[in-house]
Amino acid sequence: MRTSQSFGVHFTIRKGREKDGKTAVYASITINKEKVLIALKRFVDVDSWDKGHGCVKVRLPEAKETNAYLEEVKFTITSYYQQLQIAGKEITPQLVKAYFLGEATEETHSLSRLMDYHYETASAALTWSTLKHYAVTRRYLEKFLKEKRKTTDIRINDIDYKFIIDFETFLRNHKPADHFQPINNNGVMKHLIRLRKMTTLAFKLQWISKDPFKNYKFRYKKVETAFLSTNELKTLDKYELASDTLVVIRDYFLFACYTGLSFVDLMNLHEGNVVRGEDGEKWLKLFRQKSNEPTNIPLLATAQEIMDKYKDNPRSVSLGKIFPTITNQKVNVYLKEIAKIAGIKKKLTFGVARHTFATTITLANNVPIETVSKMMGHTKIATTQIYARVLLKKVSDDMGKLKKIIENNQVNIEQE
């Protein structure tokens, strides 16, 4: 392990804090430009202090005893530093100070311990799906350490800029042995963001003394997420599917298209989420699981019809849910099959369904972007504006109407 560090000990006094002409002596420990002071139980006359040499002026009577004490302190501090080096500990000035004062409780902090601690503290606040993503990042880190560093763990203090770049390169070159696709650029960035969140936690806990991501630049590629057009929605809705299972999955997907709900929020829906609004109509009222943001959505007729199909389903009734539950992994497989059968050339996901609600269902029909943002449960309207940028067809349709208005006005003027 890397243990190369700059280390130094010197002594100083603080002028302006003397009492009756005497002031305390401080030991200053510096490691890699980080410094800490220790107040020693030794007082000297301000005028007797040799600032340049960090000791009492040698010609004075009291110099021999005091300077010998300071040399002993320096030897002790240096000994602790060397012991920590041999033990392979993550050394900071604070740790050396703690050992000198007999207060040391610090342990060597490893990456695996950090990830364990992150899981223990974050599991109550994060969703299961988010924790699953962190678990995937952890597996990639373990593979990286095994294949490229020939080890199973690493000190957090050894995570530096080179470690981050090497891990990024590993992710980009990694070829999965299973059927999954290689990680794309944005996927690589997400793994690195999760690593950064863990090192930020370590920094806040003072397990490391600097941020290893300080000079790292995240590079995202802009991707236009797919959404279904009105014609594609009609095709999907009217297509006769032979399998009952596929019909159910299609219903779930269409329900998300007309409400903007994520898969997990759809699965969590219960009767208590269906309320009467001030307009007397039925609304969905819930908190998004991902962001805990309140969401209020008027139920469109198509969404209401889908809900009515399952109100007496034994599986949903027994669980107190609106829809029978199913795992997201199976849903994605079924959606792929549905798209192929119905002749839709886009990869269907619940993300596509949410985007369809934001674009084809609402924004394309002149629903104000502020209203859409509220229904989507976005914390920032800038997030919703991403959907507005992809509505080229809406721009084309609006400009087409404008052209017709201008042409009609010209005809009327000529006839007059």
Contact 176, 167 (CB under 8 A): no
Nearest C-alpha neighbor of 55 from the set 72, 30, 78: 72
The neighbouring-strand residues paired with 37 are 28
| Phi, psi for residue 62 in degrees, rounded to 5 | -80, -5
Residues in CB range of 381: below 8 A, 6 or more apart: 369, 370, 373
Distance between the two ends of the chain, CA-based, in angstroms?
90
- What was the pLDDT predicted at 303? 94
Contact 34, 209 (CB under 8 A): yes
- What was the pLDDT predicted at 209? 82
Contact 227, 363 (CB under 8 A): no
Residue 167 CB: number of other CB atoms within 10 A? 22
Structure tokens at 225: 């997420």
Pairwise CA distance, residues 385 & 365, whole Å? 15
337 phi-psi bin (left φ>0, alpha ψ -120 to 50, beta other): alpha
CA dihedral sign of residues 227, 230, 232, 234: positive
Residues in the chain: 416
- What was the pLDDT predicted at 94? 86
Q: What pLDDT, in 10s, does the model give residues 215-266? A: 999 998 876 678 999 999 999 999 999 899 999 999 999 999 999 999 989 9
**Surface-to-core class of residue 225, CB atoms within 10 Å of its CB (0-12 exposed, 13-18 middle, 19+ buried):** middle
Pairwise CA distance, residues 13 & 46, whole Å? 8
292 phi-psi bin (left φ>0, alpha ψ -120 to 50, beta other): left
- What was the pLDDT predicted at 3? 45
Contact 237, 245 (CB under 8 A): no
Query: Model pTM?
Result: 0.58
Residue 309 CB: number of other CB atoms within 10 A? 13
Residues in CB range of 17: below 8 A, 6 or more apart: 23, 24
Q: What pLDDT, in 10s, does the model give residues 374-386? A: 888 887 777 777 7
| Digitized pLDDT (tens) for each residue of the chain, 416 residues in all | 344 578 999 999 987 778 888 999 999 999 988 899 999 989 999 999 999 999 999 999 889 999 999 999 999 999 989 888 877 676 888 888 888 888 765 556 889 889 999 999 888 777 777 888 899 999 999 999 999 988 888 888 889 999 999 999 999 998 877 656 788 899 999 999 999 999 999 999 888 888 999 999 999 887 667 899 999 999 999 999 989 999 999 999 999 999 999 998 999 999 999 999 888 899 999 988 877 788 899 999 999 999 999 988 888 888 889 999 887 778 888 999 999 999 999 999 999 999 999 889 998 888 888 888 888 888 777 777 777 655 656 667 778 778 888 887 775 666 66
Structure tokens at 335: 């959606």
**H-helix or E-strand spanning residue 43:** strand 34-45
Structure tokens at 374: 């509220």
What letter does residue 156 receive in the DSSP assignment?
G
Pairwise CA distance, residues 287 & 325, whole Å? 19
Pairwise CA distance, residues 357 & 131, whole Å? 27
Contact 208, 202 (CB under 8 A): yes
Nearest C-alpha neighbor of 264 from the set 321, 218, 223: 321
Nearest C-alpha neighbor of 210 from the set 93, 116, 113, 101: 93
Give Cα 246 distance to the centre of its chain. 34
